[in-house]
Structure 1
Amino acid sequence: MTKHENKYCPRCKEPFECKVGSILLCQCQGISFTDQERDYIRLTYPDCLCRKCLMAMKHEISTTAVREKMRTILEAIKKGTQ
C-alpha cells in the first residue's frame, strides 16, 4: 500500500501531502538539486518542505551562490587594480 502523509511545511507552515511511498507522484518530483543544495536544505529543516518552499529555497541558494561568486570576482579585480 502506498504511504501518503499529511504534513505541515516547517518553513511556511502550510499543509501539503507528502507521497514518500510513491515518489514519482510526490509534489517534490521534478525539482533537481545539487548535492550541496540538498545537504543545505536537509541541515536547515528537519522534515519535507512543500513544493513552493523547495522552489524558493533553490532560488535563494542559487542567488546567494551567484552573489558570493560576484563578490569574489570583484574583490579579485579590485586587488588587481590597486
Structure 2
Amino acid sequence: MEDLTHHRKLFQSAARKEEGSSKHEIKFCPRCLAKFECKVGSIALCQCSGFSLSTEEKDYISAQFDDCLCRECIHITILEYNTIKIYKTITWSF
C-alpha cells in the first residue's frame, strides 16, 4: 500500500511540473493511476462534467478518494455505489 501511495505522489509531482502555467491540470487518477487532464479553468469542458451525481454518490466517491477520478473510474465507482445500494435493499427471506 505504501508503494502505491508513493507512486501516486511521484505521479502528481510530475503532473504539476508538466502542467506549467496552463488553466488545465494534468492529474493521475487515484483509483487506476491513468493520466488525464483536469480542466478546472473550463469546468464545462472537463471530462467529469457529463455526470449528474446524487449527493450520496458524491459522498461515496469523496469518502474513498481525495482527488479527481478519471472518467472511466467515475463511471465504475457510480456503478459500484448503486450495486451496493441495491444489494442492501434485498430482503433475504428463506
User: Aligned-pair distance for 1:18?
Assistant: 0.3
Equivalent residue, structure 2, for 1:61: 81
Equivalent residue, structure 2, for 1:11: 31
Equivalent residue, structure 2, for 1:52: 72
Q: State the AA in 2 paired with 1:50.
A: C
Output the aligned Cα RMSD: 1.8
Q: Which has the higher contact order (CA 8 A, sep 6+)?
A: 1
Question: Structure 2: 5+ residue runs without aligned partners?
Answer: 1-20
Mapped contact 1:7–1:18 kept (Cα < 8 A): yes
The Cα offsets for residues 50-82 of structure 1, whole Å up to 9 and x where unpaired, read as: 000000000000011011111xxx24xx3xx8x
**DSSP-derived class of the 1:52 partner:** helix
Q: TM-score, normalised by structure 2?
A: 0.72
Question: Structure 1: 5+ residue runs without aligned partners?
Answer: none
Q: TM-score, normalised by structure 1?
A: 0.82
Aligned structure 1 segments of 4 or more residues deviating by more than 2 angstroms: none
Q: Does 1:38 align with 2:61?
A: no
User: Aligned-pair distance for 1:21?
Assistant: 1.3
